[in-house]
Amino acid sequence: MATVLYEKDVDRSQIADRKVAILGYGSQGHAHALNLKDSGIDVRVGLREGSSSAAKAAEAGLRVMSMAEASGEADVIMLLLPDTEQGDIYKDHIEPHLQSGDALFFAHGFNVRFDLISAPEGVDVAMVAPKGPGHLVRRTYVEGGGVPCLIAVGQDASGSARDLALAYADAIGGARAGVIETTFAEECETDLFGEQVVLCGGLTSLVTAAFETLCEAGYQPEVAYFECLHELKLIVDLMYEEGIGGMRYSISDTAEYGDLSRGDRIINEDTRAEMKRILSEIQSGSFADEWMSESRSGRPNFLRLEAEGQQHPIEQVGAELRAMMPWISEGRQSVQAVSGGQGKE
């Protein structure tokens, strides 16, 4: 079992006299910058020229400057930029300003795990990865709580990279909820696997395939939508709150027997073999290579697949049905409404 670290385990002096630069002011960037500032940390925000986030950050009372200037001034530099852009930005705006004793921080292991960024000797490399979206990182902090964080050390030049990462996690509220130590490889590989197999890829394919099966068999699309998509939330909330057993306790015996006797036919030996193949593509770096070259060539497949998804009948049926349930988009049905007002630029 992993050790979970809390506020009592933190040496706050590790970050108290550091100068922190937050590069990027999107989902994570705005939350880290504002939480650090409210924790009394010396923080500045580095943005690209002409960034529309500059005004928002300045209005929130933050010092805003170019990414190069921020990297020069600061001795802890946190990259909260899109993973596909970090490598180029690092070469152009950060590397020239890195000095021995500085620390380079990440919120996801992608660029370090796949060798897209390697810091010079003498520089600490660490990760503080909140396990939740940026808006929740900010909102829970303001409310006196926090979002659990993973921390990891990629290069320990100073001998105190781990303690600095823990102090940073604390300053954004993470140590109120719990901090777990991991490695860049574990965080990155499990994160990619989770989103591909369960949270995003597995889930959207399961829902649309089941919806199509019912529609092709002549059932009404509205009924198929409620059954295959809408009701998912209720089941997931039960699993989130009570575990799988708690969910099974709440559903009918008939539903439970269908679950117990049929689930393995959907996620069968072939599916498990495919999960292993997806995991090896992640581990070997071939997924990362594919995604980086897709992104560098203007994302043609990404954009085509995204557009195809938007054209799927389940989206039209869903939009019509959700329009009749305005309380859903107002967040009143959700157990914990996570969407905030912070837009991207």
As a whole number of angstroms, the distance between CA 66 and CA 169 comes to 25
Rounded Cα gap, residues 323 and 330, in angstroms: 11
Q: Which is nearer to ligand NAD, 160 or 295 (CB)?
A: 295
Q: Contacting Mg ion (CB under 5 A), which of 75, 102, 170, 191?
A: 191
Query: Is residue 108 among the annotated active site residues?
Result: yes
Instruction: Please report how close the Cβ of residue 194 comes to Mg ion at its closest, in angstroms.
Output: 7
Q: Looking at residues 24 to 43 of the shown chain, list those that interact with ligand NAD (rule: CB under 6 A).
A: 24-29
Rounded to an integer, what distance in angstroms lies between the CA atom of residue 276 and that of residue 109?
21
Residue 180: strand, helix, or coil: strand
Name the active-site residue from 93, 108, 135, 230: 108
Residue nearest to ligand NAD (CB): 26
Does 115 participate in binding ligand NAD (rule CB under 6 A)? no
Examine residue 83 and tell whether it contacts Mg ion (CB under 5 A).
no
Q: Where are the alpha helices (DSSP H) in 194-252?
A: 201-216, 221-225, 232-250
Residue with smaller CB distance to ligand NAD, 80 or 119: 80
Provide, rounded to whole angstroms, the least separation between the CB of residue 79 and ligand NAD. Answer: 7
- Closest CB 195 distance from Mg ion, rounded Å: 5
Please tell me whether residue 187 binds Mg ion under the rule CB under 5 A.
no
Q: Cβ of residue 113: shortest distance to ligand NAD, in angstroms?
A: 12
Least Å from the CB of residue 228 to ligand NAD: 26
Q: Collapsing DSSP states into helix, strand and coil, what is residue 181?
A: strand
Closest to Mg ion by CB, 75 vs 191, is 191
Eight-class DSSP state of 220: -
Q: Over the range 26-64, which residues count as b (16 or more CB within 10 Å of their CB) and which as e?
A: bbbbbbbbbbbbbbebbbbbbbbeebebbebbeeeebbb
Q: Which does 48 bind (CB under 5 to 8 A by kind): ligand NAD, Mg ion, none?
A: ligand NAD
- The partner in contact with residue 156, picked from ligand NAD, Mg ion, none with C-beta cut-offs of 5 to 8 angstroms by kind, is none
Q: Is 179 helix (H, G, I), strand (E, B) or coil?
A: strand
Strand order, beta sheet including 63-66:
4-5, 179-181, 149-155, 124-130, 103-106, 76-79, 19-23, 42-47, 63-66
Query: 3-state DSSP call for residue 13?
Result: helix
Reduced to 3 states, what is the DSSP secondary structure of residue 74? coil
Three-class SS of residue 314? helix
Indicate whether 83 belongs to the interface with ligand NAD (CB under 6 A). Answer: yes
Q: Is the Cβ–Cβ distance between 134 and 30 less than 8 Å? A: yes
Distance of closest approach, residue 76 Cβ to ligand NAD, in angstroms: 16
Q: What is the CA radius of gyration of the chain?
A: 22
Choices 18-26, 38-46, 186-194, 224-232 (CB under 5 A): range interacting with Mg ion = 186-194
Please report whether residue 299 would count as binding ligand NAD according to CB under 6 A.
no
* 113 near ligand NAD (CB under 6 A): no
User: 154 touches which of Mg ion, ligand NAD, none (CB within 5 to 8 A by kind)?
Assistant: none
Catalytic residue list: 108
Contact set with ligand NAD (CB under 6 A): 24-29, 48, 53, 80-83, 85, 89, 107-108, 129-130, 133-134, 344-345
The residue ranges that bind Mg ion (CB under 5 A) are 191
